Structure 1
Amino acid sequence: MIRKIIVSFLYLFALSSFVSAKGFFPKEELMSLGVYYYPEHWSPNQWERDIKNITDHGFEFIHMAEFAWAQLEPIEGQYDFKWLDKVIELADKNGLKVILGTPTPCPPVWLSQKHSDIYIKDAHYQRKEHGTRANMSLSNPIVLSYTKKIVEAMAKRYGRNKTIMGWQIDNEPEAKEDYSEASQVAFRLWLKEKYSKVDALNEAWGTAFWSQLYSAFDEVNIHNATNVGWWGANPIALLDFKRFTADTQAAFLDFQAEVLREYIDKTQFITTNYVAKGNGTDPRRSTKMDFASFTAYPNYGSANLGDLGFRLGDYSVLMYANDYYKLIDGITGVMELQPGQVNWANHNSLLQPGIVRMWLWHCFAGGSSYACTYRYRQVLYGAEQYHHGIVSTDGVNLSQGGKEYAQVIKEINQLRKEYSSKSEMPEILQKRKAAIMWSFDNLWSLERQKQTSQWDTWKHMQGYQSILHSLGAPVDIISVEDDFTDYPFLIVPAYEMVDEALVQKWKDYVSQGGNLIISTRTGAKDVNAHLWESNLSGIMNELIGGKVQTFDMLSAGKSGQVIMNGKTYQWSSWGDQVIANSTSDILARYNDQFYKGDACIISQSIDKGKVWYIGVESLEGLLERDILKRAFAYNDVPVENYPEGVFVMYRDGFMVAVNYSSKVYELAYDGKYLLGEKVLKPAGVSVWKSN
């Protein structure tokens, strides 16, 4: 995978040896709790009171400085660290550790006045301006030069400070489309790096279509779907622009990491806080940080359940983050978790009492080594006035969310006494272990050519993820580079672009005894996003035991029928018509439309394992659920039947149950509960030892 931005634009630094990521957070501490603090927003005579109160509430670290470039460098080349020194001294005095953020999201006004071209240009070629955050052109060498200076200055001052536990690079990195002059130049160099020759680019992009042919890389401009229209845009050129933009963001993070690494102590970690479900970034493209963190604001989304859902949040946010981020480097944590109301969502209702506590325990269950909340004090001015904090506007009294953080801190301390390093995942959970294969390249490609307004790639993937959790399976989200063999079950939902190497890797996995469940649209294109010349399923035919003859989609509001084992299911958004080989079993057929009787789900055995191809997306996920249950039953693996929104997960010798649904759920465990009880109410938490 290419993830290098223009080498000539970057300063290269020697990379010193990494400390093992797991060494930063001792396992016996389970999960450390911290909070964002912004001393620049408050009178210095309140700092000591605030820091002492943070300690008294039980927090173990504070997070500072990621938006403070103007305070740290008020005049070009003149640094003011005295205020930050003071707060770090207060933290050390009170037994708190510190995470420092590099302040690159918000350049100071003097920088923009001196270099007005540091900002990105949007799709209308309008240059952004000073006054917000995350709007610099990351391809611009001027931006990289000034970034190096401020990061280096901070690293030199605090890189050996024992109070500093780690660094967060930038803030919520967002791969924003940039049509500026610097980005145009960088994109052409990126294309040269990828394709070497312009003929290869022409072939990959299919420039024979509509006379788009290029004779030199210098003729290429970033394809702008806004200007040429959605339908007229070259989908493969736009996919490469997505890849370039993600690579640019990743390179900017790695660039800062290498600057830091030259000066900081090995005990200080380097991370960043990706938005949980992504915003154009691909965390796997960055390779120089110690691990990836995530930001989670579960109060928005489409998976809010029942009458109380608007107060309970979207379970899919933390479900995804828990299963995805820890696999990148073996460790993760939530760097921002909302403590109450925010001010930017479609609705900003008061949260159900207990839900902040439940989110924290969901993060714990998912493997987070730390949980940090944004923010300690509710700011009195600026764009986030109505964003709740751990304390209210008076800076002293705990908010509802603050009370729940304080409660979880006490509960974590209680569980630390119960922790045993000898604990192991129960055997039944080992047998249920499942992986979902996921790729942002495929997401970007599918979302560009959905073919129907009903198609939602995120929803399709997370439908399978939710089913697996409801069956009580431990779930990881993996990539093509990962080892499949640790998972008895591998689910591949809508993995559109494949090559021979990947298909062979799947075959090998199945031959060795793996269970491979493949969903519709998988393998429909090669890695250049071209359709196959042979047929719609191309090089997938031998693996799935058949071929996709054609596909259909129904209009919104209309549904068709699929029948399996005498049971009828409804579908609408996508349905493949599959011709099965003689080696395959037909598990489900269409039960109406002019192709009634055609197959849509087939399976076949390959040596020791089995493959299922699910060529249809059902309306409620009931068909997919029954196929997954069938796959587990085929392997004599019993499963659970948790309702949607109820999660029961294993972590370090503990079982943790949380309830996002609006209904009471009764757990099956009859033993002693360390926290909670058998009856799990909405926003409820129950914890017990696994053995």
Structure 2
Amino acid sequence: MRKNTKFLLLLLIITGMSVRSQNASRFFPEKDLISTGIYYYPEHWNENQWERDIRKIAEMGFEFVHLAEFAWYKMEPTEGKYDFAWLDKVVGICVKNNLKIVMCTPSATTPAWMRINYPETFIMDDHYIRAENGTRGLNSTVNLKYRMFVAKIVSELAKRYGQNKNVVGWQIDNEPPAIADYSPDSQNSFRKWLKNKYKTIEGLNSVWGTAFWSQWFNSFDQVVIPNTTLVGWWGNNPHALLDFKRFSADSQADCLDFQAGILREHILENQYITTNYTAICTGADPRRTTKLDFAAYTAYPNGGSNNIGEDGFRLGDSKVILFAGEYYKSVGGVSGVMEIQPGPVNWGSYNPLLLPGTVRMWLYHTFAAGAKIACSYRFRQINYSAEQYHAGIIKPDGVTASTGGNEYMQFIKEIKSLRKQYKPNQKIPENLAARSTAILWNLDNYWAIDRQKLTYQWDTWGYPVKFLELTKSLGAPTEVIAEDTDFSKYKFLIVPAYDLVDSLLVKKWKNYVNNGGHLILTCRTATRNRDGHIWQGEWAAPLSDLIGAHIESTDMLSSYKKGEVLMNSINYSWNNWADLLTPGKGTEILATYNNQFYKGKAAVVSHNMGKGSVTYIGVDTDDSKLEKNILKQIYTMAGATTEDYPEGVYTYWRDGFNFGVNYSSDNYRMNLPATAKILVGEKMLKPAGVLVWIE
């Protein structure tokens, strides 16, 4: 294959002909509400079992089958020799059983012959050791040989199944990791990426601050990927590391777009293209792609964490679907769960049985949060290899439904019933519209802060999630949005720990407030510019006029020390972070510090601007009671009503339906209006309970 120069040149100029759909919902009829699917791996089973298995999938009520994501070895058993006869047979059995298909590109798991013949297609770790085949996601996304082989297999798949009307969509790769790659190819690509960004080496030296500790470069050829393992945590340049994160995310996104471009050359217009990011995604950035129609996610809420209350370890982490369900909709406008656990997993710190009803609750949670698809990993629990203890919809005997399988069937049956109740063009109730909220978040800020937390108590991922939990506890419909979103669609905009900003974003915030929006900013916002430099001026200088106050300094406490904050005659405790604020004229002090040597200093301030208001929350508390009461006060002052749901109880409105799910270990009685008609469940929402009603 080393002689394929012509193909390689073509590969380099492929750009893909499609751009992200402006309306990805066009792939999903509104009346269907949500479509259910299942992962099936025919390559893992004897051919004489395929017919039985796929017939069972249809009998259970599933609507589509997810195929081929890890089957490269079977599609191209030796280099350049393709075999799709087995997959043709599987597709035919699916069609015979009225099942649609989501076809997958196998780029996450290359065959053994590639590692043997082309070891350069694999990444190098931070010890400069080549990865090997045996797991997934270890190929170098910037290596041209790897891309050449990917282009060929994707082209073959697309030409074979792209015009098949039973194929409804395509998943590219699997849980793309944007993993750090220190290989020579990655080093060269990183230098090109830097040169494209900075143009001159002087520009890079300025942004990276290479005058510090004699890191100065005379040319881009001298630059190497920053390696914390070899340099040590203290010695690494945070600006270089931030750029490496951005480069890795860009490379991953480009590789996904590269495949999407090939697919679009061959597939039907009504076949969607997506991929399945992990719910907690800190490497790959879905917003960097341009050719995916939307972003799906995988959700594994229960992997041995204690969670809420006595039975929380059986109910799963409520925050997993909570955040992913909103965040991934910011790509393409819709989303869905492509992979959800149907029972215990094999990789958790411990792997307990789930409380009966939990899988069904997770499915309803994804549905309520707006998912258009709900797919489960996997149909059969495999009897061998790395994931043999990972539960399936079907038990290891190959025929008996697991608890999760039965709950999936219940969910499917109930969805069919809800479809009959669906009425088009439903408008969100006025009381919910009055609470419409957005949380502004991006991965750049996660990367920047997580590198320099300043206190070990700072929870970089959890901090924005906690504000989503708070708004949901107040009954506010909340989305997680990007900077290019129209802020005016939301009554309230929360910006938690948004470290890196520029003047354009600050101006957009000001315009939002002047036009009637209510902006809530928190500590660690606007402390640095986009390059990660602290402002040459007062702390968080761009915020001073906006929040009507100056940030004097910041305090962090030891684990055994508790600070106090006073608001409305109530004392709250804090321990993690405290900005000391000096308010300007016309700025209202909402809360003050009530101990330490700076007792009486402002902790939370607010002031009106134009038609709206700005509130700055300078303190981070563990129990979040202070922040919740501040938000409630802001909603109330803006004329919005609020609820008071306990931790783990979430409500949603979607397509005319109201939903409630309960991740807590206690019963909770929902207070429904007299006009409510219950369609699923009952008012007493038990742990793992689900309630669906219309008004």
TM-score range, shorter chain: over 0.9
Describe the shift of the 1:7–1:573 C-alpha distance in structure 2 as closer, same or farther (beyond 3 A): farther
How far 1:672 sits from its partner (Å)? 2.7
> Alignment partner of 2:154: what SS?
helix
Task: Return the alpha-carbon distance in structure 2 between the equivalents of residues 179 and 265 of structure 1.
Answer: 38
Task: Return the alpha-carbon distance in structure 2 between the equivalents of residues 506 and 468 of structure 1.
Answer: 20
Q: Among 103, 123, 129, which residue is 2:106 paired with?
A: 103
> Alignment partner of 1:112: what SS?
helix
Partner residue of 1:683? 688
How far 1:10 sits from its partner (Å)? 3.8
Partner residue of 2:14? 12
Describe the shift of the 1:272–1:413 C-alpha distance in structure 2 as closer, same or farther (beyond 3 A): same
How far 1:194 sits from its partner (Å)? 0.7
Task: Return the alpha-carbon distance in structure 1 between the equivalents of residues 63 and 184 of structure 2.
Answer: 45
Letter in 2 for 1:679: M
Pair 1:614-2:617 in alignment: yes
Q: Among 414, 439, 442, which residue is 1:439 paired with?
A: 442
Describe the shift of the 1:241–1:565 C-alpha distance in structure 2 as closer, same or farther (beyond 3 A): same
Report if the CA contact (8 A) 1:511-1:606 is conserved: yes
Report if the CA contact (8 A) 2:304-2:348 is conserved: no
Letter in 2 for 1:415: L
Report if the CA contact (8 A) 1:334-1:370 is conserved: yes
Task: Return the alpha-carbon distance in structure 2 between the equivalents of residues 129 and 388 of structure 1.
Answer: 27
Partner residue of 1:359? 362
Partner residue of 2:678? 673
Partner residue of 1:504? 507
Q: Among 510, 523, 528, which residue is 1:520 paired with?
A: 523
Partner residue of 2:248? 245
> Alignment partner of 2:650: what SS?
strand
How far 1:8 sits from its partner (Å)? 10
Pair 1:230-2:230 in alignment: no
Taking the TM superposition and a 5 Å limit, the aligned residue runs for 1:185-584 are 185-300=188-303, 304-584=307-587
Letter in 2 for 1:55: A
Q: Among 16, 24, 29, which residue is 2:27 paired with?
A: 24
Partner residue of 1:134? 137
How far 1:227 sits from its partner (Å)? 1.0
Where do 5+ consecutive residues of structure 2 fail to align? 1-7
Give CA-to-partner distance per residue, 1:245-269, whole Å, 9 cap, x none.
Answer: 0111100100000011111111211
How far 1:175 sits from its partner (Å)? 1.0
Task: Return the alpha-carbon distance in structure 2 between the equivalents of residues 276 and 252 of structure 1.
Answer: 20
Task: Return the alpha-carbon distance in structure 1 between the equivalents of residues 317 and 569 of structure 2.
Answer: 34
Name which of structure 1's ranges 374-383 and 299-308 shifts more when overlaid on structure 2.
299-308
> Alignment partner of 1:49: what SS?
helix
> Alignment partner of 1:473: what SS?
coil
Give CA-to-partner distance per residue, 1:395-432, whole Å, 9 cap, x none.
Answer: 11100000000000000000000000032110111010
Task: Return the alpha-carbon distance in structure 1 between the equivalents of residues 510 and 244 of structure 2.
Answer: 32
How far 1:9 sits from its partner (Å)? 7.8
Task: Return the alpha-carbon distance in structure 2 between the equivalents of residues 25 and 557 of structure 1.
Answer: 53
How far 1:539 sits from its partner (Å)? 1.4
Report if the CA contact (8 A) 1:600-1:616 is conserved: yes
Give CA-to-partner distance per residue, 1:628-672, whole Å, 9 cap, x none.
Answer: 011001112110000010011101010010000000000001533
Pair 1:159-2:162 in alignment: yes
How far 1:134 sits from its partner (Å)? 0.7
Q: Percent identity?
A: 52
Letter in 2 for 1:163: N
How far 1:673 sits from its partner (Å)? 1.0
Pair 1:644-2:658 in alignment: no
Taking the TM superposition and a 5 Å limit, the aligned residue runs for 1:162-181 are 162-181=165-184
> Alignment partner of 2:529: what SS?
coil
Task: Return the alpha-carbon distance in structure 2 between the equivalents of residues 569 and 642 of structure 1.
Answer: 20
Partner residue of 1:3? none
Partner residue of 2:4? none
How far 1:540 sits from its partner (Å)? 1.2
> Alignment partner of 2:180: what SS?
coil
Report if the CA contact (8 A) 1:436-1:475 is conserved: yes
Report if the CA contact (8 A) 2:304-2:352 is conserved: no
Letter in 2 for 1:529: G
Give CA-to-partner distance per residue, 1:275-322, whole Å, 9 cap, x none.
Answer: 012041111001101111100001148671001000000000000011
Task: Return the alpha-carbon distance in structure 2 between the equivalents of residues 17 and 144 of structure 1.
Answer: 20
Describe the shift of the 1:303–1:595 C-alpha distance in structure 2 as closer, same or farther (beyond 3 A): farther
Task: Return the alpha-carbon distance in structure 2 between the equivalents of residues 128 and 302 of structure 1.
Answer: 30
What is the count of residue pairs matched by the alignment?
A: 685
Letter in 2 for 1:549: E
Report if the CA contact (8 A) 2:494-2:521 is conserved: yes
Task: Return the alpha-carbon distance in structure 2 between the equivalents of residues 650 and 17 of structure 1.
Answer: 30
Partner residue of 2:5? none
How far 1:13 sits from its partner (Å)? 3.6
Task: Return the alpha-carbon distance in structure 1 between the equivalents of residues 295 and 19 of structure 2.
Answer: 18
> Alignment partner of 1:611: what SS?
strand
> Alignment partner of 1:658: what SS?
strand
Report if the CA contact (8 A) 2:296-2:337 is conserved: yes
Task: Return the alpha-carbon distance in structure 1 between the equivalents of residues 132 and 425 of structure 2.
Answer: 56
Q: Alignment RMSD, CA only?
A: 1.4
How far 1:557 sits from its partner (Å)? 2.8
How far 1:337 sits from its partner (Å)? 0.7
Partner residue of 1:64? 67
Letter in 1 for 2:251: T
| Displaced runs of 4 or more, over 6 A | 6-9
> Alignment partner of 2:576: what SS?
strand
Give CA-to-partner distance per residue, 1:444-490, whole Å, 9 cap, x none.
Answer: 00000000100012111111110000000001001111110000000
Where do 5+ consecutive residues of structure 1 fail to align? 1-5
> Alignment partner of 1:165: what SS?
strand
Report if the CA contact (8 A) 2:302-2:314 is conserved: yes
Task: Return the alpha-carbon distance in structure 1 between the equivalents of residues 586 and 219 of structure 2.
Answer: 49
Task: Return the alpha-carbon distance in structure 2 between the equivalents of residues 210 and 653 of structure 1.
Answer: 61
Partner residue of 2:52? 49
How far 1:493 sits from its partner (Å)? 0.2
Pair 1:591-2:615 in alignment: no
TM-score by length of 2: 0.97
> Alignment partner of 2:210: what SS?
coil
Task: Return the alpha-carbon distance in structure 2 between the equivalents of residues 311 and 143 of structure 1.
Answer: 42
Describe the shift of the 1:17–1:210 C-alpha distance in structure 2 as closer, same or farther (beyond 3 A): closer
> Alignment partner of 2:66: what SS?
strand
Letter in 1 for 2:689: G
Report if the CA contact (8 A) 1:551-1:576 is conserved: yes
How far 1:596 sits from its partner (Å)? 1.0
> Alignment partner of 2:472: what SS?
helix
Report if the CA contact (8 A) 2:40-2:66 is conserved: yes
How far 1:14 sits from its partner (Å)? 4.5
Describe the shift of the 1:121–1:495 C-alpha distance in structure 2 as closer, same or farther (beyond 3 A): same
Q: Among 86, 90, 110, which residue is 1:87 paired with?
A: 90
How far 1:327 sits from its partner (Å)? 2.4
Give CA-to-partner distance per residue, 1:569-617, whole Å, 9 cap, x none.
Answer: 1001100011111121111111111111111111111110000000010
